[in-house]
Each structure stands twice: as C-alpha cells, then as structure tokens.
Amino acid sequence: MPMNRICWLLLLFSISLPLQAAELTQRYARIAATPDGIGKSYMGREIAQAMSYHGAAWLERAERAQEERPDLVLAALDIKPGMAIADIGAGTGYYARRMARRSGSKGIVYAVEAQPGMMALLEKELARHLATSVKAVLGTPTDPRLPEASIDLAVMVDVYHELEYPYEMLSAIVRSLKTGGRVAFVEFRANDPTVPIKPLHTMTEEQVRKEAAAHPLEWLKTVRELPWQHVMIFRKVSER
C-alpha cells in the first residue's frame, strides 16, 4: 500500500476516535449519583443500579402473581404459536418460561442475561422447569447477541431503566427485530403513590416514548390497567 494512503488512513482513524468519544459524551452525562443510581444520566433521567443475582428470589416470589398480574402482561403481548421472542434481562426466566408456553414447541424464546451470576440461576431454573424451547443467551451491556432481523417480539420487564447503555442496547434490540416486529417495555409507573417501588426503578410513559423515538420505532399502545406497571408496545418500522 502506498505510504501516502497509509498516512491518510491513519489520519482518518485518529479523527474518528475523538468523534466517537464526543458522541458518547453528548449522549450520556455524569452526575452526582443518588443512592439507587449509577451517576450517569440519559435524556434527563439517572440510570438505576441493576438488581444483582443476590435479589433473584424476589423475581420468583409467590406474591408476584397478584402484585404484578403477569397474566395481564402476557395477554397484552399477544403472543402467537411459533413466534421468536427475546426476553431481555430475563433474570431467572420467570417470564421467558411463561412466554415459551404460549409460543409453543415451534416457537423459541431467547432469555438474555448480561450477569454471569444471574445466568447460572437462569439455566438452573430453565432445567428445573424443563423449558426446552427457551435458549439462554449471555449478552453484554450493549448487545443482547441475538440473530439480526429474526425476532417477532422483544420484551423488557422492569429492565430498561437499569440498562447502563440504553441507546446502544435498544439499537441492538431493534436490529434483531424483523420489520414489523414489536418491542415491549414493562415498567413500574412513575409518580404513582400506590406503586411501592423506588423512584429510579420506575418510568413515565412520556420518558419511555421519548427514548424510543431515537430509534426506528412507532408507538402502538400502552396498557395501563395493571396494579403497579404499564406496558408500552412499539413496532419496528423501516430504518430512518
């Protein structure tokens, strides 16, 4: 390769690094951390600390059926037999197992976890429940590591507000969706005194829709009839 071409490529590379750093700086801001946050804000909200595998028992508590009404959440998701579904931040697989029953033997549920400790518990629970149509996937903070353009429905149950890199992660999720595929945000309702959850672990519909608007997603509906949560469902449209 001619020397002048090598120099030109090195110059481009040296310019791109500051540009990438500037883009990340503009996207996120460092702030004074609150007790439940990580000291990093995105679109005006502080990102919450993620629940570790030490709190996994809370995901499988018997009271969850009445406190959160997962039956209503599953009904709102409109799962059909044969669907390819991604449960992002699957935890112990509480929802992944239930979604797998609805998608049936011809469907598949990718249960994505980024924490190795939680992944171990997830695999244990899937084996215990004989959830053979659920595939555990170890993702990263920025990538669920899902096949591109292959997912009919991606679901995040009380997860999105904890994502360390929400923009990058949602971008990767959208890439995994088929055109017309859906993504559902299930979040505890913010500013509701009847919801016994720490504020940083709640989100308003307005905030979710604001952040979803940064991606090729269009809002379909919001289900507000749950005891503590709301379900906001979007559809992937043609790339902008």
Verify that 78 and 134 share a domain, yes or no: yes
Res. 239: pLDDT tops 80: no
Verify that 55 and 173 share a domain, yes or no: yes
Res. 102: pLDDT tops 90: yes
What is the average pLDDT score of the chain? 91
pLDDT value at residue 4: 52
- The residue with greater pLDDT, 1 or 130, is 130
Verify that 72 and 20 share a domain, yes or no: no
Verify that 24 and 85 share a domain, yes or no: no
Verify that 12 and 128 share a domain, yes or no: no
In this predicted model, what pLDDT tens digit does every residue of 21-38 receive, in sequence order?
444 558 999 999 999 999
Instruction: Work out the pLDDT band at 72, boundaries 50, 70, 90.
Output: very high
Is the distance from CB of 94 to CB of 129 less than 8 angstroms? no
Report the pLDDT averaged over residues 222-239. 95
Report the pLDDT averaged over residues 84-105. 98
Report the pLDDT averaged over residues 79-94. 98
Is the distance from CB of 108 to CB of 136 less than 8 angstroms? no
pLDDT value at residue 26: 82
Is the distance from CB of 89 to CB of 113 less than 8 angstroms? yes
Verify that 42 and 10 share a domain, yes or no: no
Strand 202-203 to strand 217-223: parallel, antiparallel, or no bridges (unpaired)? unpaired
Structure-token pair, residue 2 = 């001619």
Q: Give Cα separations from 132 to 56, 67, 102, 106, 234 (angstroms).
A: 21, 28, 13, 11, 28
Verify that 106 and 168 share a domain, yes or no: yes
pLDDT value at residue 161: 98
Res. 6: pLDDT tops 50: no
Verify that 52 and 4 share a domain, yes or no: no
Range of the domain at 112: 31-236
In this predicted model, what pLDDT tens digit does every residue of 116-169 receive, in sequence order?
999 999 999 999 999 999 999 999 999 999 999 999 999 999 999 999 999 999
